[in-house]
Structure 1
Amino acid sequence: MKTKLLPLAILCGSSALFTGCSDSDNKQQFKKVEVPQAKVVSDGTKIEVRLLETTDLHANLLNFNYFADKQDDKVGLVKTAALIRQAREQATNSVLVDNGDLIQGSPLGDYMAKIKNLADGEVHPVYAAMNTLDYDVANIGNHEFNFGLEFLDEAIDDANFPYISANVFKDDGDDDANNDEPLFSPYVIQEKTFKDTDGTEHTINVGFIGFVPPQIMQWDKANLEGKVIAKDIIEMANHYVPKMKEEGADLIVAIPHSGLEVSAKKPLAENASYYLSKVEGIDAIMFGHAHANFPGPRYEGLAEHGVDVEKGTVNGVAAVMPGFWGNHLGVIDLTLEYTSGKWQVSDSQSTLQAIYETDANRVTTALVENDAQVESAVTQAHQETRDWVNAPFAKITSPVNSYFALVNDDPSIQIVTDAQTWYTQKIVQGTELDGLPILSAGAPFRAGRGGADDYTSIAKGDIAYRNVADLYIYPNVLKVLKLSGAQVKEWLEMSAGQFMQIDTASTDVQMLINPDFPSYNFDVLDGVTYKVDVTQPARYNAKGEKVSDGQRIIALTYQGQPVSAQQQFLVATNNYRASGGGNFPAIGADKIVVDSPDENRQVVADYIAHQSSKNNGQGLNPAADMNWSFAPVANVQIQFTSANSDDAKAYSEQFSHILPTTEVNEAGFAIYQLDLTQPQ
């Protein structure tokens, strides 16, 4: 089926109740098709329908990690596809939907959009794979706009299923909402032949309506400004759902690319799925965007808001959200019962089917085999992507490693924090947040936590995309918090729990690093300068519990001036930290002011490429700015461990306060001495 983006009138076809798409005059037309007279149906007749959903695939088609250049059975449509086929075999009646964020998010997506591009008539590997699975409909996600409207048009042109989105409209330049023309078909109603529990066939008109976060106008301003406008999700649902009922929809399935939040309703909300459950006429919600699992533990404790995680309902409406990157298939089993002249949902059960399981030792086991059809459809694109991702894309002017990231400002963290600052400056430009001081948080992910060889080490010169995984190992998403100076200081106090208290009266060797404190919770905040006084007791323990009134963070300044308790800052971080991960004091989702849709790792890659090309091809200088250091401590013996390698020992020669010893501990770590009387 050929589809067009501007306009995308894709209600054509014998399975839809509306036809009349016109490519010649570039106008979206609708013509009602007479529905055959329904057969007499007895009250109490039941039909069981299985609704299946994929969402947030982010171009993860195969079970492969391009950054690590190895198989990864925790991801991939090639695995989800096997679950889809199994789920269909188990059900008499089923439909399959996708909820967007398809063409961006993995190196394969980047390769197709930024390197290879799509020639006219060439099928994007995402759709080559999906076309083997007979999807019924797909919704547009926010990341579909990342590469611009022209690329989006060409990419979805060969999808063998219709696209919908009810809250994106062409920007006609006037203030008259009554004449706004949808960019996509807002909804589609499809005739389905379903068998009831006795085996008798019935025609059921299934309506699908989709939504995207209105924040696309902020996230993709450069691609969309002056071309489209985005409207409120709930407003558009209230507008279109009654029309769908009038036009014969027996069952209405909402497909919002929008998460679930029970906070007070507000206009243009990003995560509006909760309030969609209150729109009369919607029978099921297949949502996404939040990269989370519903039903699941994350949503426990919301029973008072009408959220049932056992049954998988929100205010009585069946709902499901199947994670991300293909790691789960979403399933809603509905029972439709014919009552008083119409079909109604009489029961439902939402479940998630996983593609893998992980045991207590963190060993991953695939639960399904690769789907042969999907695998075959994308083999060539996969190999091309693999070749590209291992090829250099930028340069760095000096080596980057994390050998001393726990005791010294470090280039492996600096690149990350600089990238996050760069991104945040762009995304807040022109908003009410523009002008606020921007800080950026980064932690040493690879600093020996996984053993004596678990350190980042990237050589000077060419850098490939897979090296970015060495800098940022987690698939986090960038978030920006708004915090006071007092909260910034407490953040740093929590981070300083990384260190043991040094006793200035002791003549014994004292180890500096607290082994119970995970290195990924040792956040460095760039944008301010400060010192850490390790002679003071830690204010917080590794669990985030306040254990003393210690004040380890001293000389905290911004642009040379002391940070005041009331001063306001934006702090770029990741979704883990922003949502309360690590139990940092006063840090939680309520502080998020920019709920970015982009991964920190991709932000780092984009920044390296940008800075490398900007520097006349000479490469990015990854040097740390040394914005933090230890307060001087005299007459003590302080030691710490790091890599037992020639590279690490050679790197230590750059610092007068880091001295290698000849000792190696039983775990294979080299022991180093820290002289805090020397300049840092």
Structure 2
Amino acid sequence: MSRPTLSPFRLLAGALLGAGLLSAQAAELKLRILQTTDVHMNLLNYDYYQDRPTDEYGLAKAVTLIKAARAEAKNSLLFDNGDLLQGNPLGDVVARVKPLKDGEVHPAYKVLNLLEVDAANIGNHEFNYGLPFLRQAISGAKFPYVSANVVEAASGKPAFEPYVLLERRLRDESGAERRLKIGVIGFVPPQIMLWDRQNLEGKVRALDIVETAQRLIPELRAKGADLVVVIAHSGIEKTEQPRFAENVAAQLAQVPGIDALLLGHAHAEFPGPAFAAFPGVDSARGLIHGVPSVMPGRWGDHLGVIDLSLDDSGGRWQVVASQASIRPIFQRSTRKALVEADPAVGIAIAAEHQATLDYVRSQVAITEAPIHSFFAQVGDDPSVQVVAQAQLDYAKRAVRGTAYEKLPLLSAAAPFKSGGRQGTGHYTDIPAGPVAIKHVADLYVYPNTVKVVKVNGAELREWLEMSAGQFRRIDPAGPAAQELLDPAFRSYNFDMIEGVSYQIDVSQPARYTAEGQRTPAQGQRIVNLRYRGKPVDPGAEFLVVTNNYRASGGGNFPALGGERIVVDAPDENREALAQYLAGAKRFNPSADGNWQILPVKGVKLRFLSGAGGIKHLARTPSVKLVEERGDGSALYELAD
């Protein structure tokens, strides 16, 4: 049968139609990617420790930004990057005080389900309450969860879905409907095996992030992913990181096949000036080694936004232009709120919020003086000492009748709320009077459990040397005023050890970096280390009560690891503190001054802290005010 002959008119019409289809097919498509991260159960803009609303953080405020950002774009996707389920008393109530019942939806997912989140990643703090609770909680999410580098201990099979392919119908700039497959893969720091060893050992293993990405991203592409979004609960380091490192954004960005990189964990803000000088970073456009990347702070204080322009004229979708940015809910310079909270969040979790208020307001004891942490990094401090004393009280009972009963017992505790990356308002500040559960949680913010380790005198000294790394080296021949604190050092790694006395010589270089790596320094910052008035014998044995994080190797302290644990207690440090205070009923918080920073002749030792510390100066003669900054912070110096 002969084919019908087409008229020149129909040939022309067909050619024009084909050209039109080709033009439509090649039209630009714009996609907006939105990200929240490290919410830490701050679903509402409410400070449970101070028992009052706040403008500085809260997912309810970020929801307002999310809705505005969605309204500006034809196509958008929303992702959460973990550390969602733990972080404040609301999280503790749902996990421990009034645990979720079968079939109940976790309040975090009541909120995220309302937001119609597209997918989420598992953060390291999701494991704090154990695997059964984690699985129970995320079962209430109406969106997929991903975690590619956590596998079952025995089989090596993925413990969670490693990645998902989201099929979405999007509109290009001509208005035509286009179908895209978006591959989404998630990663968590391998250090979960240290930080939550008691919950995870023998059950799961954590693989290296970069190696897992190199293996699985080609697999995602082979399964048809037009676009690959990596949600990595990991931060950005300036230098090359080793295998199994915690913050590997820079290396991850160099893995081929990644179109967008969503970061978290470090509670930092990218794009931002703090990263402008990092290798491979374009801070203006929000690129890391050419990959659009974003890290929107913590606690819902920012929304991450990545705008992508896509083109498929070459036969596959490619990112031809991008811009990453973060949108704040609060202006720090003026201390002004930029958005109102979305009321839907408060309505959705009203019952859980009220249950948390009822819990945190219950009284435990009475303090005869204020307890605060504004100066906890520069001198022996009541807010840390009361924790250390509570741990000692618990451990004395735990070792009674054991082979360890006669060994000297010490206690290590650190300031958890000392500003830093959490902001100028992140300090403990408990007034004299009733001490409630909210104050106990304020003094001990993590759900750690009590552990006792055995070390010798030499290892005890190195433990303190690692802690002393939080101080900059002060040059006696340098400027007349010098900054004392190293902002890169996490305050929760500044362990003070109760039961011994010592001094810190900050004119000496640090023996350890903030990551626990030994420096070339041969001197010692810890001097006059004594137990009961006598120099500590390097070979003498000591018990030190601490928490599961430190005892299992968290912070990379020298000589510390799970094998040093001699008392593996199931109780939380916070519960030990509550029991100690309840037993005291009324107490006068004070520090015994068992450690001091040695003065450096001719140099004023200065440090930044919250302006809230000004009202406590009359009770703190060792500190004096230099200036209030007007942004919630103040500059102080140690008195001569």
| Structure 2 counterpart of 1:367, one-letter code | L
Counterpart Cα distance in 2 of 1:403 and 1:203: 54
Q: Give the equivalent residue in structure 2 for 1:607.
A: 573
Deviation at 1:239, TM superposition (A): 1.4
Counterpart Cα distance in 1 of 2:202 and 2:256: 33
Counterpart Cα distance in 2 of 1:490 and 1:283: 38
Deviation at 1:43, TM superposition (A): 7.5
Which of 287, 296, 300 matches 1:322? 296
SS at match of 1:280: coil
Q: Give the equivalent residue in structure 2 for 1:557.
A: 530
Deviation at 1:263, TM superposition (A): 2.5
> How do 1:132-531 and structure 2 match up within 5 A?
132-172=114-154, 180-302=156-278, 305-359=279-333, 364-392=335-363, 394-395=364-365, 401=371, 411-416=382-387, 456-459=430-433, 463-468=435-440, 525-527=496-498
| RMSD of aligned alpha carbons | 5.1
Are the aligned partners of 1:612 and 1:619 in contact in 2 as well (CA < 8 Å)? no
Structure 1 residues 445 and 620: CA distance shift in structure 2, 3 A: farther
Q: Give the equivalent residue in structure 2 for 1:598.
A: none
Are the aligned partners of 1:612 and 1:618 in contact in 2 as well (CA < 8 Å)? no
Question: Which moves more between the two structures, 402-411 or 555-564?
Answer: 402-411
Q: Give the equivalent residue in structure 2 for 1:124.
A: 106
Question: Which moves more between the two structures, 552-561 or 43-52?
Answer: 552-561
Counterpart Cα distance in 1 of 2:251 and 2:417: 40
Deviation at 1:85, TM superposition (A): 0.8
Counterpart Cα distance in 2 of 1:198 and 1:405: 60
Structure 1 residues 353 and 377: CA distance shift in structure 2, 3 A: same
Scaled by the length of structure 2, what TM-score is found? 0.67
Counterpart Cα distance in 2 of 1:493 and 1:279: 35
Deviation at 1:339, TM superposition (A): 3.6
Are the aligned partners of 1:422 and 1:607 in contact in 2 as well (CA < 8 Å)? no
Deviation at 1:301, TM superposition (A): 1.0
Structure 1 residues 564 and 126: CA distance shift in structure 2, 3 A: same
CA distances 1:360-397 after superposition (whole Å, capped 9, x unpaired) = xxx532211221322211122111111111113x4579
Deviation at 1:280, TM superposition (A): 0.9
| Structure 1 counterpart of 2:235, one-letter code | G
Deviation at 1:70, TM superposition (A): 0.7
Counterpart Cα distance in 1 of 2:28 and 2:392: 56
Deviation at 1:216, TM superposition (A): 1.0
CA distances 1:274-331 after superposition (whole Å, capped 9, x unpaired) = 11111111111011111110111221211xx211111101100010010000000000
CA distances 1:343-369 after superposition (whole Å, capped 9, x unpaired) = 11111110001111133xxx5322112
Counterpart Cα distance in 2 of 1:312 and 1:593: 40
Deviation at 1:52, TM superposition (A): 0.3
How much identity, in percent, do the aligned residues show?
Answer: 42
Structure 1 residues 100 and 241: CA distance shift in structure 2, 3 A: same
Deviation at 1:53, TM superposition (A): 0.3
Q: Give the equivalent residue in structure 2 for 1:66.
A: 48
Counterpart Cα distance in 2 of 1:144 and 1:313: 28
SS at match of 2:265: coil
| Structure 2 counterpart of 1:463, one-letter code | V
Long gaps (5+) in structure 1: 1-38, 173-178, 427-434, 475-480, 502-513, 541-550, 574-588, 596-604, 632-640, 653-657, 659-680
Structure 1 residues 527 and 317: CA distance shift in structure 2, 3 A: same
Counterpart Cα distance in 2 of 1:123 and 1:419: 35
Q: Give the equivalent residue in structure 2 for 1:108.
A: 90
Are the aligned partners of 2:296 and 2:326 in contact in 1 as well (CA < 8 Å)? yes
Are the aligned partners of 1:421 and 1:439 in contact in 2 as well (CA < 8 Å)? no
CA distances 1:422-452 after superposition (whole Å, capped 9, x unpaired) = 99xx9xxxxxxxx9x9865559979xxx9xx
Structure 1 residues 384 and 151: CA distance shift in structure 2, 3 A: same
| Structure 2 counterpart of 1:412, one-letter code | S
Are the aligned partners of 2:47 and 2:54 in contact in 1 as well (CA < 8 Å)? yes
Counterpart Cα distance in 1 of 2:236 and 2:435: 39
Long gaps (5+) in structure 2: 1-20, 399-407, 447-459, 509-523, 547-554, 562-570, 599-613, 622-640
Are the aligned partners of 1:234 and 1:276 in contact in 2 as well (CA < 8 Å)? yes
| Structure 2 counterpart of 1:382, one-letter code | H
Deviation at 1:486, TM superposition (A): 7.4
SS at match of 2:312: strand
Structure 1 residues 143 and 439: CA distance shift in structure 2, 3 A: closer
Equivalent residue pairs, number: 513
> How do 1:634-673 and structure 2 match up within 5 A?
none
| Structure 2 counterpart of 1:415, one-letter code | V
Structure 1 residues 486 and 262: CA distance shift in structure 2, 3 A: closer
CA distances 1:179-223 after superposition (whole Å, capped 9, x unpaired) = 522111111111111122222211111110001111111111111
Are the aligned partners of 2:390 and 2:580 in contact in 1 as well (CA < 8 Å)? no
Scaled by the length of structure 1, what TM-score is found? 0.64
Counterpart Cα distance in 2 of 1:338 and 1:527: 64
